[in-house]
Amino acid sequence: MAHDKTRTIGGIELNVSYMIIWAVLLGLTLVEVFIPEMAHGPTGPRENSIFDPVFSRNLSIVLLIALAIAKTYCVAWFYMHLVDERPLIVLIGCTPFIFSVFLTVGLFPW
Amino acid sequence: MSTTAKGYLAPLTKEAETSTWVYLKEWFCSTDAKRIGVMYIIFSIIMGLVGLAESLAIRIELAAPGPTFVSDATYMTLPGMHATAMIFFFIIPLYTGFANFLVPIQIGAPDMAFPKLNLCAFWILPPAALITFSSVLFQVFGVDLVVPPDFGWTAYPPLSTAAYNSNIGADLWIMGVILVGTSSTMGAVNFLSTVFNMRCKNMTFFQLPLFTWALVVTSFLILASTPVLSSAMLMLQLERTMPELFSFFSPQGGGDPILYQHLFWFYSHPAVYIMIMPGFGIISEIIPTFSRKPIFGYSVMVWSMIAIAVLGFVVWAHHMFTSGIATEVRAGFMFLTMLIAVPTGIKIFSWLGTMWGGSLKFDTPMLFATGFLIMFTIGGLSGVTLASVPVDIELHDTYYVVAHIHYVLVAGALMTIFAGFYFWWPKITGLMYDERLGRIHFWLTTIFINVTFFVQHYLGVKGMPRRYFDYDPSFADLNLVSSLGSFALAAAQLILFANIALSLKRKVAATANPWKDAKTLEWALSSPPPHHNFDEDPVWEPVERGHGPASHDAHPQPAE
Amino acid sequence: MASTALEELHPPLGEESLGVVHGKLGMWTFLVMDAMTFAGFLAGYARLRWGVGGGADIPWPYPYDTFGQVGIQLTAFNTFILVCSSVSMVHSLAAALKGNMKTAQNWMLATIIGGLFFLGIQGFEWTHLIKDIFFNGDIKNVNFAATFFCLTGFHGCHVAVGVIYNLIMFLGMRSGKIHQGNASLVEIAGLYWHFVDLVWILVFTFVYLI
């Protein structure tokens, strides 16, 4: 535990850094909500979507998962302080992520 | 015997010295990891006897073709409840008991990191056992309202959904399993925190005794796999309680029974490593002690345990080769499964390498360790044959699988438990056991394990299915052999209990290090160890873990 | 005073340790377990959604169609609230580390209110979905509702537990039992709370948006 008042994350002072992450999370959430609205409207895939109608669904899924992972990374790395934790604890934190990927990939109905 | 020599067994207060009840209460509320460990061991031995009774009922029924001993409906409940007792309430808690006793001492800590959590984890077990096995009590007393589940320990839906088994006994079983899982994850959290944070001076990660390493790896396995079983069980319970709203698993409601099998085996495959890894640790302590040589390839032993653990998470679908998954996927899982034989083989050869050129002493623990090495190799090899997809399709759900699992769990895990039991009995109780009875116990156990289970390979290859109430008369002879073997195996365990009783009666005090060559920290303490383990913080003398030319004269040169 | 009492609660660190309090390791390892429980539910959801077994012929409705634009935006707002309560949690910790216990207490109160707000909106949403959407016969696929309630319900339980946890922290700060010296207790509570937030980010994406 660091007790010094000048605790920083990546050179930025704590409180400022927290607010930056907060803004990033907020922005990413807005983008996330925007994606399905663009990809498919109230009655299935939209005609005038900015995405190609055929690929809109796959593309939106990939984008959404990427955004979700970016957001979870922000929370885990900065809010859960993995940034200044020793490698072993980072490893413990990564374990469930790795194993749940194993599980989900293995569950795919091949 | 004076109070000081009784170590942690000594009563803490004046009242406890005179009143047995107060003394017992002191144990039940104790946060001392050693006392909790002993309570774990006693509890799981009791549950082991329950499991043993059920297995005997199975073998009596199967001794001759046709209905003989129990009704078919009762028989269907036996294999599942036998497995539940042995897996969830015998092997896993028994290892936890050993670990509670030993891990804090081996790392030079006064206690576990969370003593109260530790006590809580233990006290979840007896109610869980009562919940799970209450249906068996009802069954024994002939009440039909609550019957044990008849879907085996795997509880595959749709057999386990409300449509096919609406009895409350199945709900109780599910609740009990979730509770056991909770208890063992609590234990795992505790072990990891203890080992990571409470090691004494110089006890770095690659100085840890291998038993402690085994517990670290096992705890990771428990943490990452048990909750998946819990979530599967919660889904199953929701589906049972509200069949019209939830149908995750039953095809008639739009669910997917294979999903359950995936989730179940994602736990239950790592679970077999949970049930053998601490055993590997025990063997890795015993063989160097009785070979009077340091363990061969220490760091390789550690890395192979980690490799087994990681690989253990990506092989679960080999239990489902006949469930219709794609050939490519089966081939992948077959490859990964066979890959596990590599780190396991490394361990076997490292144990042999430790014994090679050592000056061996065959006391009872070493006998059990040697027996384990040989028979576990048989069990491991039959596992490799089962991993092959075409062979597995032939042998799936036959007695070959039963033989394999019993070679791994009885000839594997149980033998390590016996080895560890004899090895640490002087440390736990401060008393010596009778060496001759121990040897007799070893020989009878080893012989009758083989009599009981070896013939089952042949029965399986010939096509006798598992979990069936009746069988073709052509299987009768070998089934009789197997049944007789199991009765003798059960009878041989009486010798163990006689040995315990004799040891407690004779009170031959054990020295701090009765095996002379044991090196880990628990042997530096008196037998039994005092309440807070170490009077002053211990300092571990780092061991040279490399295996270059023998630099110590105490260790003989390996015979080339 | 209180600090020594709390230190006695746990055995001391060993000479060789990771240099963090036991509680932090305990919480991280517990979170491994908790995350895998969610992984079980999420993976099950994924497989049912991929559509095999008996449900293959019944199409899985688009969440966007079922919840509607307003429903999605309401839940997005709920996500926003949970993220905000995470921020107030880290501020509470930062204040506690600096010894401003009064500030820390207020931030913790904000966190609790955020959690309660989240639960309230979720309760409203559930009521609406149960009464008007899920069981009116339009949705043929029973697993859609089942996985939805399973995932959001299990997460909701975690939020409820987190609110209680934070309430205990808040009361501890008010009575002076939690102070600068044992601010790690706040950090550990924060780990749990951020984890709940993190899981919600995933659940929100997988259940509402994809």
Q: Record the tokens describing residue B367, joined without a space.
A: 């006998």
> How many CB atoms neighbour CB B438 within 10 A?
23
DSSP structure string for B210-221: HHHHHHHHHHHH
Q: Is the pLDDT of residue B545 over 90?
A: no
- What Rg, from alpha-carbon coordinates, does chain A have? 19
Average the pLDDT over each of B166-170, B391-395, B535-539 and give the range with the smallest value.
B535-539
CA distance linking residue B464 with residue B494, whole number of Å: 31
The answer on pLDDT for A71 being more than 60 is yes
- Rounded-to-10 torsion of CA B295, B298, B302, B305: -40
Q: Which of C198, C199, C204, C208 to mutate to test the interface with A (most CBs of A within 10 A)?
A: C198
CB-CB under 8 Å, C20 with B227: no
Residue B29: how many other CB atoms lie within 10 Å: 10
Phi–psi pair at B363, nearest 5 degrees = -80, 170
Give the tens place of pLDDT for each residue, B32-90. Answer: 999 999 999 999 999 999 999 999 999 999 999 989 899 988 999 999 999 999 999 99
Residue C45 has which token pair? Answer: 């959801």
Three-state DSSP string of B451-500: HHHHHHHHHHHCCCECCCCCCCHHHHHHHHHHHHHHHHHHHHHHHHHHHH
Q: What is the pLDDT of residue B547?
A: 59
- Predicted pLDDT of residue C9: 52
For position B5, what pLDDT does the model report?
A: 67
Q: Helix crossing, C184-203 with C63-98: angle to 10°? A: 170
Chain A residues whose CB is inside 8 A of the B315 CB are none
Q: Is the pLDDT of residue A42 over 50?
A: no
Which residues of chain C are within 8 Å of residue A64 when distances are taken between CB atoms?
A: 205, 209-210
Note the pLDDT of residue A12.
Answer: 43
Average pLDDT, chain A: 76
In the predicted model, what is the mean pLDDT of residues B407-422?
A: 95
CA-atom Rg of chain C in angstroms: 20
**Contact B266/A106, CB-based, under 8 Å?**
yes
Residue range B111-142, pLDDT digits in tens: 999 999 999 999 999 999 999 999 998 888 88
Q: Using a CB–CB cutoff of 8 Å, tell me whether C73 touches chain A.
A: yes
| CA–CA gap between residue B34 and residue B440 (Å, rounded) | 29
Q: Rounded CA gap, B360 and B356, in Å? A: 9
Find the helix or strand (DSSP H, E) in which A41 lies.
strand A40-41
Please name the residues in contact with B395: beta carbons below 8 A apart, sequence gap of 6 or more: B385, B386, B401, B460, B461
Of A29, A30, A86, the CB nearest to C18: A86
* Percentage, residues of chain A above pLDDT 70: 69
- Phi, psi of B356, rounded to the nearest 5 degrees: -60, 120
Q: Residue B66, class by beta-carbon neighbours within 10 Å (0-12 exposed, 13-18 middle, 19+ buried)?
A: exposed
Place B95 in a pLDDT band, splitting at 50, 70 and 90: very high
Touching chains, A (3+ CB pairs < 8 A): B, C
Residue B528, preceding bond cis, omega within 30 degrees? yes
Return d(Cα B382, Cα B403) in angstroms, integer: 9
Overall average pLDDT of the B147-166 stretch: 91
A37 has a pLDDT exceeding 80: no
- pLDDT over 60 (residue B100): yes
Query: Does the beta-carbon distance from A36 to C72 stay under 8 Å?
Result: yes
Give yes or no for residue B472 having a pLDDT over 50.
yes
> Which residues 29-58 of C are in CB contact (within 8 Å) with A?
29, 31-32, 35-36, 38-40, 42-44, 46-47, 50-52
**Tally of residues, chain A:** 110
- Chain B CB contacts of C48 under 8 Å are 248, 255-256, 259
Please indicate whether, in this complex, the C-beta atoms of B193 and C36 are within 8 angstroms of each other. Answer: no
Nearest CA in chain C to A106: C43
Q: What is the pLDDT of residue B307?
A: 96
Tens-place pLDDT, residues C64-108: 778 888 888 899 999 999 999 999 999 999 899 888 899 999 999
Mean pLDDT of A26-52: 68
Residue B536 has pLDDT above 90, yes or no: no
pLDDT value of position A11: 41
Rounded to the nearest angstrom, the gap between the alpha carbon of residue A102 and the centroid of all alpha carbons in its chain is: 19
What b/e sequence results for B91-103 when a residue is b if at least 16 CB atoms lie within 10 Å of its CB, and e otherwise?
bbbbbbbbbbbbb
> Which of C37, C42, C144 would you mutate first to test chain B, the one with the most B CBs within 10 A?
C37
Q: What is the pLDDT along chain C (210 residues), one digit of tens a residue?
A: 334 444 445 677 888 888 888 999 999 999 999 999 999 999 999 988 887 544 556 778 878 778 888 888 899 999 999 999 999 999 999 899 888 899 999 999 999 999 999 999 999 999 998 888 887 776 777 888 889 999 999 999 999 999 999 999 999 999 999 988 888 899 999 999 999 999 999 999 999 888
Among B residues 262-281, those touching chain C with beta carbons less than 8 Å apart: 262-263, 266
Distance CA B486, CA B492 (A): 10
Q: What is the pLDDT of residue B7?
A: 86
pLDDT for A40 = 62
Of C17, C48, C145, the CB nearest to B197: C17
Confidence (pLDDT) at B303? 95
Cβ distance C33 to B185 less than 8 Å, yes or no, reads: yes
Looking at domain C22-209, its CATH architecture is Up-down Bundle (1.20)
> What pLDDT does residue A50 have?
52
B103 touches chain C (CB under 8 A): no
Extents of the domains making up chain C: 22-209
Band the pLDDT of A16: cuts 50, 70, 90: low
- Say yes or no for a CB contact (<8 Å) between B198 and C17: yes
> What is the tens place of the pLDDT at every residue in B354-401?
999 999 999 999 999 999 999 999 999 999 999 999 999 999 999 999
The pLDDT score that the predictor gives to residue B6 is 82
Q: Quickly state the pLDDT bin for A41 (edges 50, 70, 90).
A: low
Specify the pLDDT at position A14. 57
The nearest CA of chain A is from the CA of B447 a distance in Å of 41
Contact C39 A92 (CB under 8 A): no
From the CA of B340, how many Å to the nearest CA of chain C?
Answer: 23
